[in-house]
Amino acid sequence: MTTTYAARRLAGPCPGCGSTDAEQAFVGRDFLLGVRGEWTYMRCVGCGSVIADPQPTVEELQAAYAPSYRPHRDDRSLVERVAEPLARRETAWLVAHADPCSLAVDIGCGAGAILRRLRETGWRGQLRGVEPNPEVAARVSKALSLPVDVAPVEALPDDARGAGLIVLRHVIEHVRDPRAVMHLLHGAVAPDGLIYVATPDRRALAERVFGRYWFGYDPPRHLYAFTREGVHGLLAASGFSVVAERWDYAPQMWSGSLHNRLNVSPLFARRADLFASLLNPLVGGPAAVLGLLEVLLHRSTMYGVLARRV
């Protein structure tokens, strides 16, 4: 049986292409932390980006960023430690494209992984972070001996302006008004400076396989799931010109999506953590191959684009 969703207009224009025409994509649940509730996601007919409409309430989002939220934790799993050399390729790429002697600001720095990797891969200029969670900000500042401002992305501190590189890694999908944020950052980056936006690409092969269980959707924390076209449109509308882009190897997106799917199965729910692990050869082997295929086809969940202020 084929389900048909009625088309309707979005509450506001799509930040990727400006269209207000959309159709329902799915009704999502929080598979990661189990916050109660359901959220409707609409698919923009212009660029294909998926948008939470209506957006979650303030209370719902506060519950969804519990202390156990992974990006706020600085403990690394065995898989993350083994994959660290691969992860450093991203910051080495940034160092190669930007001026490594300039100020670099990581907005929404979380546990500080990008700041640490920038330093380790050759960034010689000043590094600073911006993080809305005060406890996480204090911990990162102490661990890395770097300034970390406590502020939301919508209220960028004055001393974080004039950066040669602004990093917005897996942040833009969390903010309520991406275009307003990008216009703010256009004024914050130095003339001829660069901004790096990394966000899940909704065109990922894993999304085609898992649909609403795709790890890149992450309801209700992700308010947007942009396509590549949507990201390019957002950057162009905000006064940036694309310089380079990358799709990173991410087999963990396959195991994470499988975990989401198993979580709703009465048969596997209690064993989802054990079964849907990259350490399980029945999962890790196929995920490794499929992750490589995604990179080769430029259809990986982990998408990043570097753009210059114009």
**Residue 57 pLDDT > 70, yes or no?**
yes
Strand 7-9 and strand 21-28: pairing?
Answer: antiparallel
Is the residue at 152 inside a domain?
Answer: yes
pLDDT in tens, 99-109: 999 999 999 99
**Residue 5 pLDDT > 60, yes or no?**
no
pTM: 0.92
pLDDT of residue 3: 40
Is the residue at 55 inside a domain?
Answer: no
CATH number at residue 89: 3.40.50.150
pLDDT in tens, 292-309: 999 999 999 999 999 999
**Residue 2 pLDDT > 50, yes or no?**
no
Total domains present in the chain: 1
- Rg (alpha carbons) of the chain, rounded to whole number: 19
Determine the 3-state secondary structure of 80 from DSSP. Answer: helix
Is the residue at 223 inside a domain?
Answer: no
Query: What number of residues does the chain have?
Result: 310
pLDDT of residue 102: 97
pLDDT of residue 35: 87
Is the residue at 2 inside a domain?
Answer: no
Is the residue at 151 inside a domain?
Answer: yes
- Top-confidence residue, 275 or 304: 304
- Residue-range definition of the domain harbouring residue 94: 72-156
Average pLDDT over residues 221-249: 97
Is the residue at 149 inside a domain?
Answer: yes
Tell me the β-bridge partners of 129.
Answer: 106, 148
Average pLDDT over residues 275-285: 91
pLDDT of residue 101: 97
Is the residue at 45 inside a domain?
Answer: no
Is the residue at 88 inside a domain?
Answer: yes
Cα–Cα distance, 148 to 139 (Å, whole number): 9
pLDDT in tens, 139-187: 999 999 999 999 998 888 887 889 999 999 999 999 999 999 999 999 9
